[in-house]
Amino acid sequence: MKANLTKDWLALEMHAERLKAQHLRELFANDPERFQSLAFSLDDLLIDFSKEKIDSFALNALVQLAADAQVEARRDAMVQGEKINSTENRAVLHMALRDGIPAGVTVDGQDVLADVEAVRERFLEFAEAVRTGAYKTVSGQTFTDVVNIGIGGSDLGPVMVTASLAPWHDGPRLHFVSNVDGAHIVDTLTPLNPATTLVIVASKTFTTAETMLNFSTALAWLKLALGEQAGQHVAAVSTNLATTRTYGIDDTRVFGFWDWVGGRYSVWSAIGLPVAIALGKQAFTEFLAGAKAMDEHFRSAPLSSNLPVLFALIGIWRRNFLKYPTVALIPYDQHLARFPAYVQQLDMESNGKRVQLDGTPIQESTGAVIWGEPGTNAQHSFFQLIHQGSDVIPVDFLAAANPSSQSVFGDVQHHHETLLTNVLAQAQALAFGRNAEAVRADMQAAGLAAEQIEQLVPHRTFPGDRPSTSIIYRQLTPNTLGRLVALFEHKVFVQGVIWGVNSYDQWGVELGKKLATALAPALRERTVPADVDASTAGLLKHIHALRA
């Protein structure tokens, strides 16, 4: 931690000691205005922090920490295109992809917004051509299916956005292949017809082993059916245009982006091509507009009412002062089923770091482990542990006031009311619990025998005092999803600034790639390298013996 933050840190530790001693029940009883002072909104999007173990005094101290950590100056440096990704010497300008930065920003002499606009027009035009059938298969048909091949940021964003906006999906069917496990591509391609399938290969670097292998398999599949014309069923998205050419992919179907877009921040770029094909230009543009609205708020609102800043600070509070190592992200929104997986990469690849920008070790804990599943399903699997387990796990709930699916055969409103009652009830149960007296009274009213009651009381008691944040919005539209994703992106940025890490590199994924490459001959030739450790040698021998 930077020296100038020590005072803020010490003050926050004192607030934490004070607040740890007070149950959320007491905090609510002592302050009837708690919701008014701890819930914040931007239009219909409301974030309620009142069920966190926090009060206005501690929140103000957190805001002071953000101010002293120079969050605003770092944000402005990012927006102006400074190369804040110092270990890769790159600017960080994903906000430009949705016009969320002011005009005139340049990187290495290039006008960023002009470049963005030019590529966006091209890929949205291509998406419309695929949707309308203006761009046809080799036999003159309209494409029925699109297979996106990519991994990490070249997969999770399009997967999550298309799933989240399923009610807007009126284009060709979409399929995603990411895993190098052959099962993924074989299972995906087998039911498809290559004569009406478009393959998009998406890779920022165009060197990622999994993607390149999956692409060569998909190309072989296309060639088997279409021969030399197979290339007409391929499009590519990459920053590495020189390499896309070596694969013979026609430049008219290659869509670029820039090294100032991190993979996990790239869904707004041409990486969103499959989304645009599935949903169309209008929905995609509304998705961008939602993110831009959040960008504008993030750039202009004071720290004390800035949603991404406050959301980040609550995360810092949980992680560094209350010492909770994980966060459960639970969307009460089936369309957001892949949102936790998306946020896992966004957050954990960005802030899973242990050294500061200057290379010195960080003394404090950084990125929390993010995990989650949609509610109400989660209630019937791991919520037992969240309610009564020995560890406290803070929860971030997401819920829409209105459903985004309509139905002709059932009452979706009734489903939605049930969903909403559950999300509200879970946050209540976590915060307030149910003490022994109340549990005892319940069982007495139900007519249980005194002895049985005493046996069951400890098992049926809920400690409560378990924090959660609820994020509530009108409806999960393209605009809302854009705002939500940008909210999480900026939260990650602010936390990275406070921890002093580079949120935009990912060196931690490199070693495994290198070791896998080194082990490739051993698998191919069924040998055991002399210099390999005893465990890996043993495992290799076992695998060799088992392989057919």
Residues that bind ligand F6P (CB under 6 A): 151-154, 203-205, 208, 211, 263-264, 349, 506, 509
Smallest separation, CB 390 to ligand F6P (Å): 34
In angstroms, the CA 501 to CA 348 distance is 12
- Does 373 participate in catalysis according to the annotation? no
What's the rounded Cα separation, in Å, for the pair 510 and 524? 22
- Contact residues for 404 (Cβ-Cβ < 8 A; gap 6+): 167, 335, 475, 476, 477
DSSP state letters, 250-277: -GGGEEE--TTS-GGG-TTTGGGHHHHH
Nearer to ligand F6P, 256 or 280 (CB): 256
Least distance from ligand F6P to the Cβ atom of residue 92, Å? 14
CB of 258 to ligand F6P, least distance (A): 13
Q: Which is nearer to ligand F6P, 98 or 264 (CB)?
A: 264
Residue 490 annotated among the catalytic residues of the structure: no
State in angstroms the smallest separation of the CB of 484 from ligand F6P.
20
Which whole-number Å values give the CA distances from 62 to 17, 75, 308, 318, in the listed order? 15, 17, 13, 11
Smallest CA-to-CA distance from 346 within 267, 258, 236 is with: 267
**Nearest approach, Cβ of residue 264 and ligand F6P (Å):** 5
Distance CA 308, CA 430 (A): 24
Enumerate the H helices of 326-461 as residue ranges.
Answer: 339-343, 350-351, 383-388, 412-432, 436-445, 450-460
379 contacts: CB under 8 Å, gap ≥ 6: 422, 426
Choice between 3 and 511, CB closer to ligand F6P: 511
Which residue's CB is nearer to ligand F6P, number 134 or number 509? 509
CB of 38 to ligand F6P, least distance (A): 35
| Closest CB 455 distance from ligand F6P, rounded Å | 52
Q: Which of 349, 353, 489, 491 is catalytic?
A: 349
56 phi and psi, to 5 degrees? -65, -30
Which residue is associated with the tokens 């409103």?
A: 413
CB nearer to ligand F6P: pick between 266 and 404: 266
Which residues are CB-neighbours of 177 under 8 A, at least 6 positions away? 147, 148, 149, 184, 185, 188, 189, 214, 218
Closest approach of ligand F6P to the CB of residue 259, in Å: 11
CB atoms within 10 A of CB 125: 13
Contacts of 289 (CB under 8 A, 6+ apart): 98, 479, 482
CB of 392 to ligand F6P, least distance (A): 31
Compare residues 260 and 324 and give the one whose CB is closer to ligand F6P: 260
Question: Catalytic: which of 7, 20, 323, 513?
Answer: 513
Considering the complex, state which of residue 465 and residue 505 has its C-beta at the smaller distance from ligand F6P.
505
Nearer Cβ to ligand F6P (255/432): 255
CA-CA-CA-CA torsion sign (186, 192, 193, 194): negative
- Verify whether residue 233 is a known catalytic residue: no
Please, what is the minimum distance in Å from the beta carbon of residue 326 to ligand F6P? Answer: 22
Q: Which is nearer to ligand F6P, 156 or 471 (CB)?
A: 156
Q: How many CA atoms lie within 13 A of 114 on its CB side?
A: 7
CB 495 within 8 A of CB 367: yes
Q: Are 275 and 338 in contact (CB under 8 A)?
A: no
Q: Give the Cα separation of 454 and 478 in Å (integer).
A: 52
37: nearest Cα among 19, 24, 56: 56
Cβ nearer to ligand F6P, comparing 114 with 209 = 209
Compute CA distances 334 → 23, 258, 286, 337, 416, whole Å: 32, 33, 21, 5, 11
Residue 434 backbone dihedrals phi, psi, to 5 degrees? -150, 115
Residue 207: how many CB atoms within 10 A of its CB?
A: 12
Closest CA to 488 of 156, 81, 63: 156
Please, what's the largest Cα pairwise distance for the chain? Answer: 82
Catalytic residue (one of 33, 228, 380, 414): 380
The catalytic residues are 349, 380, 513
